Structures are given as structure tokens and as C-alpha cells.
Amino acid sequence: MMLKWDHTVQYVNDLNTPVEAFAKWGLTAFKGGSHKFWGTYNALSYFGLTYIEFLGIEDRPLAEKIDTPNAVVRDALVELPAREAFSRVALRTDDIDGLASRLQGQGLELSPILDGRRLDARGNWIEWRMFTIDGHYRGLNYPFILQWNGTDAERLSGLKASGIIQDHPAGEVDIHSAVFTVSDPAAAAAHWQALFGLPLLESEPGGESARLGIGDKSFLFKRGDAERLTQLVFKTGAPGLQNGTLEIGEAQFVFLPE
């Protein structure tokens, strides 16, 4: 079963804010479209197949009355407008039914597998399957899971051909890791490792941090009291980005030299 880091959600009130902020740093972000059945809309920024989804509420009355058990939308209603922060990471798989069965067997409470649809800026429907995981581990929300149509290679080729994935003006830049600030990094990492089968790459003595691998990227758990995702870390060869930190709301985007 394949499991990779697909994207990261940040809640925002105005989609123009991240698009304009990224543009000032030489990074491409664009309005993606609307989830017409959920009342939300988004802007996107791609770094290969791993991307950032800036998610806002387009139609609050609709979002408030949907009966779809989608924790990402539900939490957006709680967080916004007061708190523009990271939400969750999304993991993609090639066997969503098998993974759902396995996680349920480990005692997690899942939403049904949902059919996701988004109307993009060109008027095309983008479709996928997904489920969210209810609850949390000591305050830290679980990832949500999705499966796209086609292979990674097919999606990458198609997204490049359509111009959705393109080079960033600043130069080469890749997402390297997600940083989760939690009260017990070792325990949180061990829990996610057991659930998702992610390898332990490093564990700092004293339990101050622990890092799990996810494909060629990683999830870093660091000690703190936020109990949530707080940073995305990028590796870049672009001198104008190196050692910089971009803040959008409570979210931090950290750029380190390659």
C-alpha cells in the first residue's frame, strides 16, 4: 500500500492573502476553485505533487448545514474567521478502502469514504475519494486520507501539461518537512508510526523531538504546547529565499538552504 504526503491545509479568510504573499516571495499560488457541495473554496501552491491548499469559507450557511461528515470543513467553521492556522496534512494512498479497514481495525473512528468534487477555475470538475479521521491524539488532529484517479506519474504529467504545476519564479524549492509542536514528541511519533507504518528516522535524547519519514519527506514532532502543525519547512537553492520565514496568520513557512 502506497502512502505519501499529498498536501497541507491552511485556513484563511481571504484567498488573495496567500496568493499575494507567495508572489512577493517568488512563489506561485493561484485560486483553485470551489467545493460547491461543501461551501468552501481554495487557493493552491504546488511543489511537485505535494502542495499547499489555502482553504476558506465561500458560503458559510451552506457549510453549516452540510450533512457530510467532513472534519476539514467542520473545523474551518470553528477556526475561521478568528484563527488563520494550519489545519491537517493529507496523505494519499492507492488503496483507500484497504487503509480505511486497517485504521478502523486499530480503533479509529472514520468518516465514510466520501466522493470529493471541486469546480476549478476553468470550469472543470476535479474528483477524488477521501475520508477524515475523527478525534485526536492528545490534542493533535489526525491526517486525512485521499485517493486520486490515476498513478502519480500520470497526475504529475497531466498537471505539468495543464500548467497547474510550474516552476516558481524564485527558483528551485521543495517541501521538506512538516513540524508538529506537541507536548510529547516521542509518544505522538510512535502513535503515528503505528497507525500509518511510517519509519522512525531520528529521535532526540530526552524526547525533545522525533522525525518520521513519509516518502522523501518527513514529519518532525517537536516539544511545545500548541498540539498542532505549526511550520512547513522547505529546502531551496534560491538565495532570495534561504533562511527566510514567511508568516501567514499563525502559519510559518521556513526556507532553508539545500
Block means of pLDDT (10 residues each) for the chain, 258 residues, are 96 98 97 89 96 97 87 94 97 97 96 83 80 95 94 90 92 97 98 97 94 98 97 96 98 97
Residues 37 and 79 in one domain: yes
Domain final residue, candidates 131, 162, 193: 162
| Domain at 253, CATH number | 2.60.40.4320
Considering its fold, how many domains does the chain have in total? 2
pLDDT at 67: 80
In the DSSP assignment, the letter for residue 150 is S
pLDDT at 175: 98
pLDDT at 162: 84
Cα separation, 186 vs 58, in Å, equals 38
pLDDT at 125: 78
Residues 128 and 213 in one domain: no
Domain final residue, candidates 108, 137, 162: 162
pLDDT at 121: 63
Query: Is residue 167 included in any domain, yes or no?
Result: no
Residues 214 and 251 in one domain: yes
Residues 30 and 75 in one domain: yes
Task: List Cβ neighbours of 19 (8 Å cut-off, separation of 6 or more).
Answer: 29, 30, 31, 43, 54
Helix (H) or strand (E) holding 148: strand 144-148
Query: Is residue 30 included in any domain, yes or no?
Result: yes
| Domain at 127, CATH number | 3.10.180.10
pLDDT at 66: 86
Q: In Å, how far are 50, 88, 147, 243 from 97, measured between CA atoms?
A: 22, 21, 10, 41
Query: Is residue 215 included in any domain, yes or no?
Result: yes
Give me the domain span that covers residue 88.
Answer: 4-162
pLDDT at 254: 98
39 Rama class: left (phi>0) / alpha (psi -120 to 50) / beta? left
Domain final residue, candidates 162, 185, 214: 162
